[in-house]
Amino acid sequence: MMEKIESIKECGGNLNRYVHNSIFCKTKMTFSVYLPPKAQVEKVPALYWLSGLTCTDDNARIKAGAQRYASELGIALIFPDTSPRGDYVPDFKERYDLGQGAGFYVNATQSPWAENYQMYSYITEELPKLIEDNLPILINKKSISGHSMGGHGALICALKNPKMFASVSAFAPICNPTNSPWGKSCFKTYLGEDESKWLQYDATWLIKNGCKVHNILIDQGLSDEFYEKEQLLPENFREACHEKNQSLNLRFQEGYDHSYHFISSFIGEHLSYHAKYLKK
């Protein structure tokens, strides 16, 4: 069961926050849902937004400015948390890129992380069923997007489940985590020493191994410090897509950084992109 703990009127609809006891993550999880005005009279499609390192469900719902577009398009927005949380959930307090706030959307296999860090199954199985069973959300009408670590999550969830998501997009995603300092460190911690087991959560390798979706939209800022530090590696992803005939619209945006200023500048275009697929 899910409990509503907050409701805010916004752009004609309602921005609600819920908590529930997660079966996969074995702790209480928080998520937010924006229901557009159309949801008051009929079920609507949904866009899942996966946030990046250090974020909760609160970051995107406050900073992205997506609700105005979702209201006009008649699309619900789902904002999950980025990891399990709680006093008894393993954490690495000395680092922002590991532990709570940094689930990387994988199913951890290593102790002590495996007990709670099952974010891939949480996003692709548990949360959609919970939402579709309890809210005016259409079944089999969902798309996915995200930012940074969440962009990585959106890409792998869509590529591994092409029939589940109608469309996928991302802002500054970690495209090739097995070659990224962030990804190498977290994958080793969550998934163990065997690097072959990391590949199932690497979008570039999923493309190379034959995973395919209709189309992918990615925006990448050229003044992004993490792009410059080679944490994101979109060129590697572009090369894999070219080799495998995967349709990709990779747009490099001059002067934009890694922040929500960047996301809010292009979020309307992403919502319109997803609406085309969700309303087919």
Catalytic residues, which ones? Answer: 148, 224, 258
Largest CA distance in the chain: 51
Strand partners, 8: 15
The two beta strands, 28-35 and 76-80, are antiparallel
Instruction: Using only the alpha carbons of the chain, give its radius of gyration.
Output: 17
DSSP 3-state assignment of 81? Answer: coil
Residue 276 · residue 245 · CB < 8 Å: no
Question: In whole angstroms, what is the distance from residue 159 CA to residue 135 CA?
Answer: 26
At position 241, the amino acid (one-letter code) is C
H helices within 165-233, ranges in order? 181-191, 203-208, 225-228
- Strands of the sheet containing 13-21, edge to edge, are 2-10, 13-21, 28-35, 76-80, 44-50, 137-146, 165-171, 216-221, 248-253
Question: In whole angstroms, what is the distance from residue 7 CA to residue 274 CA?
Answer: 25
Query: Of 49, 25, 24, which is closest to residue 15 (Cα–Cα)?
Result: 49
Question: In whole angstroms, what is the distance from residue 250 CA to residue 230 CA?
Answer: 16
Q: Any idea what DSSP says for residue 101? A: T
DSSP 3-state assignment of 127? Answer: helix
